[in-house]
Amino acid sequence: MKRKSMIGLMIGIGAAAVCGVLLVASLDGVAEWGKPLGAAYEGPEAKPRLVTPAPAPLSPDELATIAVFERASKSVVFIANTAIQRDFWSLDTFEVPQGSGSGFIWNKQGHIVTNFHVIYGANAIKVTLADRNEYQARVVGVDPDHDLAVLQIRAPESSLEPLAIGTSSDLRVGQKVLAIGNPFGLDHTLTTGVVSALGRTIKSMTNRTIEGVIQTDAAINPGNSGGPLLDSAGRLIGVNTQIISPSGAYAGIGFAVPVDTVNRIVPELIKHGKRIRPGLGVSLVPDALARRWGIKGLVIAKVARGGSADRAGLRGVREAGGGRIELGDILVAVEGTPVETVDELLDVLERFKVGDRVKVDVIRDNKRLSVEVMLQAVNS
């Protein structure tokens, strides 16, 4: 009897000990119910061994995109546009934010390229570089017809990383592009896409046509304006300028001024502070008035005395006897390209430079004549 009781007591103590061990092991999070205790519990200091999966290797395309962003983002700046207003009651003046946009460093002299509409109406412009330093900027020159502007800041050369300049003449639909900017005031943001179409035309703030525009599906949102559009090598191929969107946000179609146009205009803005255009040396009757007269072509209103058109023998409107007005020459083509509006004429002339000689076709006394005119500098 005593022997049976002793055996029962020993069994009970053993069971309790086992239960105690299981309880402690469970609280330490080492053992799990239903698993051999000895395999899971190795002492009070034992910890679970967590296996971290190795990161998936990045593809060559991803690595190339990362490299382009890390290199090019050093050249992209944030532009804040403020206007001065006066309090109605106190007459104190204060700055009011007007908008913001992006831009990029053009050279080591601190020239910054952006859109004209980004700085339009500004009394003060602040530029923030990639290193977070802020600088007051001055306007060097603007070309509203192409929505371009050049600013300048006084910053150490070591802080200025000019963007590599590419070309837009050899772009192909489908090639990869990258856009970097500061949409909605956010820090440097990268979007990618492809060239969706080439040779588009858009209207600038002055209602002038911008030719040869690049269309892309890389997301361009408010604040991206003035930022660079890059090729896969990180070279500038365009300046982001407009989107088509019913809501005002990105809807899949963005436009960039081609870099070949930018590369032609920016040096002029830096050198002269304005665009120096090639022109004929004439003033023209407004398109609407010519249409009202039923004339197809550009009516020359006045020829600048001593100018290129004057030397070529072109004629303007003149007053005949009795107050009667006689039409002069009607311009209908330049170098074989028909022109019917001032906008079309300006687009054709932009293919040339000051000093080039062009063939101009005019209607005079119901006869078509061709004359050669040397293009002269015309301020815009």
**Residues marked as catalytic:** 117, 147, 225
Residue 307: both structure tokens together: 């100018």
**Contact (Cβ atoms closer than 8 angstroms) between residue 173 and residue 197:** yes
* Of 346, 65, 14, nearest in space to 207 by CA: 346
Rounded distance between C-alpha atoms, residue 319 and residue 342, angstroms: 23
C-alpha torsion 134→238→267→111, nearest 10: 10
Residue 138: both structure tokens together: 């001055």
Count other C-beta atoms under 10 Å from residue 144's C-beta.
18
Rounded distance between C-alpha atoms, residue 334 and residue 354, angstroms: 15
Half-sphere exposure at residue 246, Cβ-oriented, CA atoms within 13 angstroms:
0
* Of 178, 147, 375, 179, nearest in space to 278 by CA: 375
Rounded distance between C-alpha atoms, residue 317 and residue 110, angstroms: 48
Beta bridge partners of 181: 189
Beta bridge partners of 138: 152
Residue 29 burial class via C-beta count within 10 angstroms: exposed 0-12, middle 13-18, buried 19 and up = exposed
Rounded distance between C-alpha atoms, residue 76 and residue 188, angstroms: 8
DSSP secondary structure, 109-164, as one string:
T-EEEE-HHHHTT-SEEEEE-TTS-EEEEEEEEEEGGGTEEEEE----GGG--PPP
Residue 26: both structure tokens together: 């469970």
DSSP secondary structure, 166-232, as one string:
--STT--TT-EEEEEE-GGG-S-EEEEEEEEEEEEEEE-TTSPEEEEEEEE-S---TT-TT-EEEET
3-state DSSP call for residue 287? helix
